[in-house]
Amino acid sequence: MRASRVEHDKEIHISGAEGIYKFDELERFLKKFFKRATEHPNGFPDKIFFTLEKIKEQIQFIKALPIKTVFCETPEKAKEIINEHLTKLGISEKAITTGWNVIKGQKMRGAALIDCLTGVRIEPNKERGVRVSRIHMDKKRKIQVLRKIKNLTSEPQRVIEAVTVASKVASCSEVVAEICVSDNLNYTTGYIASKEFGYLRITNIKKHGEAIGGRAFFVKTPLKIDKLIKFLEKTPVIVI
Kindly list the residues in this chain that would bind ligand WAQ in the complex (CB under 6 A): 16, 107-108, 110-111, 129, 131-132, 153, 158-159, 162, 165, 180, 182-184, 187, 189-191, 201, 213-215
Q: Nearest approach, Cβ of 17 to ligand WAQ (angstroms)?
A: 8
Pick from ligand WAQ, Mg ion, none: which does 113 bind, CB < 5 to 8 A by kind? none
If we measure between CA atoms, which residue out of 53, 23, 226, 22 comes closest to residue 124?
226
Side-chain-side CA neighbours of 170 within 13 Å: the count stands at 26
Main-chain dihedrals φ then ψ at residue 230, nearest 5 degrees? -65, -45
Q: Nearest approach, Cβ of 144 to ligand WAQ (angstroms)?
A: 14
Question: How far is Cα 45 from Cα 105, in angstroms, rounded to an integer?
Answer: 20
Q: Nearest approach, Cβ of 182 to Mg ion (angstroms)?
A: 5
Q: Are 148 and 141 in contact (CB under 8 A)?
A: no
Smaller CB separation from ligand WAQ, 24 or 200: 200
N residues, the chain: 240
What is the biggest distance separating any 2 CA atoms in the chain, rounded to whole angstroms? 49
Give the Cβ contact number of residue 100 at 10 Å. Answer: 17
Q: Nearest approach, Cβ of 158 to ligand WAQ (angstroms)?
A: 5
Note whether 183 binds Mg ion by CB under 5 A: yes
- 191's CB contacts (< 8 A; 6+ apart) are 162, 166, 178, 179, 180, 199, 200, 201, 202
Smaller CB separation from ligand WAQ, 116 or 179: 179
Pick from ligand WAQ, Mg ion, none: which does 11 bind, CB < 5 to 8 A by kind? none
Q: Nearest approach, Cβ of 92 to ligand WAQ (angstroms)?
A: 22
Q: Are 121 and 108 in contact (CB under 8 A)?
A: no
Q: Nearest approach, Cβ of 215 to ligand WAQ (angstroms)?
A: 4
Pick from ligand WAQ, Mg ion, none: which does 128 bind, CB < 5 to 8 A by kind? none
Q: Which stretch binds Mg ion (CB under 5 A): 18-26, 124-132, 138-146, 184-192?
A: 184-192
Smaller CB separation from ligand WAQ, 24 or 176: 176
Smaller CB separation from ligand WAQ, 110 or 119: 110
DSSP letter for each residue of 146-190 = HHHHTTT-S-HHHHHHHHHHHHHHHTSTTEEEEEEE--STT---E
Q: Which residues bind Mg ion (CB under 5 A)?
A: 183-184
